[in-house]
Amino acid sequence: MAGKVYLVGAGPGDARLITVKGLDCLRLADAVVYDRLANPRLLKEAKQGAEKIYVGKLPDRHTMKQEDINQLLVDLALQGKTVVRLKGGDPTIFGRVGEEAELLRQHGIPYEIVPGITAAISVPAYAGIPVTHRDIASSLSIITGHEHQDKLDVSIKWDKVTQATGTLIFMMGVAKIGYISCQLIEHGRSPQTPVALIRWGTRAEQETLVGTLEDIEAKVKAANFQSPAVIVVGEAVEQRDKLKWAEVMPLFGKRILVTRARAQASDMVRRIEDLGGEPYEFPVIETRTPADAGVLSDTSEALSQLEAYDWVFFTSVNAVDYFFVQLEKLGKDIRGLYKARVAAVGPATSKALAQRGIIAESLPERYQAEGVFEAFAGELKPEQKVLLPHGNLARSWLREKLTELGVSVTEALLYETVATGEDDVELLKLLEEGGIHAITFTSSSTVHYLLDILRRMGLSDPVEALSQIEIACIGPVTAKTAEEAGLQVTMLAKEATIDSLIDELCAWNARTRT
């Protein structure tokens, strides 16, 4: 039985601009056929094991001919697969969706066309240019600029198009900008008509070049301005000076690699997006309940005597989360800690406890184990018992210092951190092309595992591959690990919090942007 093909518009580049339906289709797909204008971050939304096939075209070569792409969709569907053909922008705007759909219909394969946000309107919007305006442009035309010059003269009626609408949008016409300008001037547009070219609009590489029909070709050559770009012609371009918004955001122009576990990355990803940056999620770790029966037995025993503890030190959000998971499995109640004082390392850990109705002891200024010890060492008594929930990679420092004070320390190994992540060809491309501008590390394990995974993916010297990228660490322990691994740490959060790390990223971008 044949599968089904969804011809999906991915939007202009910003991964968040895909439609809800497009995202639903992507998550159902057994195979994703995509081109270079679709944000590679969207591929991470595909389900585990989905086949990902790149068929994109580059300016100097074609990875796959259109006829072969059409046949590929048929072949995949005839294997019974649910297929998503992921196209940049909207599939019906110069996306050749008609050719693909026609062949699918000939083979009796069901399909749907899922519209996307076209780059023709969204890319100018991200440059601060509304393509229509009540006072200056009440209409627009969308025109291909990608064809050979002779074909352009056949497909475009210059005498009609030039004056047809207030705004003219040319798609993919950078190489023909001189000819396009000459034709528009020859057919009645003023040489002083404003023109804007927006390259890689809505992405970290977004770049805008503004001129007039008279001088834009010279400016393109001088700047070595390359495709892909949207060309906007008309008075609407002048609105940019007043309405420019994306390019002034604190993290605009920066693509930031987020390495922390997917379950914890959402806050950081959202903050980066909200500040105009482009996060690239590549979780290198995940946490899970230990599989070892002996460890589980020891943990059960530690948590079965909650009434005996005078103190509980939570050193991470994971420790809080897994503590309550284990309590539920054991059928235990938090009321067993009725006499214990509960302390937390850092505001995130304290917040995780507060969400469960537990207000932790006043936080130390240093959001590390050292800070907790400094704050409470004077109140610990030799006869007291301390519960220390943690993961398999936790430092032994706190346990050792507590033991030196003579208190009885019971450890509960609640979770283990392991390497994760599928091989990511797109990440390797970005690293090779200089497309990753900063990497964030939120724990020592993210440092170790990123380097290990890059080696697994074929980088013989990952430290060298990352040598030109800014390295941002959440705290001194993580920074020390990165430096010992050979990385050059260029940003260190003033406090060991995500907010503080984001502040450092913003300050860096403010210093370096031109």
Residue 309 in contact with residue 332, Cβ under 8 Å? no
Return d(Cα 311, Cα 301) in angstroms, integer.
Answer: 17
Task: Give residue for tokens 């690990």.
Answer: 481
187 C-beta neighbours (distance < 10 Å), count: 14
Side chain identity, residue 433? E
Residue tagged active-site, from 57, 244, 385, 480: 57
Give catalytic status of residue 176 as yes or no.
no
Residue 356 in contact with residue 334, Cβ under 8 Å? yes
Task: Give residue for tokens 């900063």.
Answer: 438
Task: Give residue for tokens 């093909």.
Answer: 5
Return d(Cα 217, Cα 378) in angstroms, integer.
Answer: 73
Q: State the distance between the two ends of the chain, measured CA to CA, in whole angstroms.
A: 56
Side chain identity, residue 374? E
Helix H or strand E segment including 256: strand 255-258
Give catalytic status of residue 491 as yes or no.
no
Residue 164 in contact with residue 191, Cβ under 8 Å? no
Residues contacting 220, CB < 8 A, separation 6+? 174, 177, 178, 197, 209
Alpha helices in 380-467 (DSSP H): 397-404, 425-433, 444-456, 462-465
Secondary structure letter of residue 192 according to DSSP: T
Residue tagged active-site, from 35, 90, 310, 424: 35
Tell me the torsion sign for CA atoms 184, 186, 190, 192: positive
For 167, phi then psi, to 5°, come to -120, 135
Which residue, among 240, 395, 407, 426, has the nearest Cα to 310 in the 3D structure? 407
The radius of gyration computed from the CA coordinates of the chain, to the nearest angstrom, equals: 28
Give catalytic status of residue 1 as yes or no.
no
Residue tagged active-site, from 14, 30, 81, 172: 172
The Cα-based distances of 205 to 124, 237, 410, 437 in angstroms read: 14, 20, 52, 11
Catalytic residues: 35, 57, 172
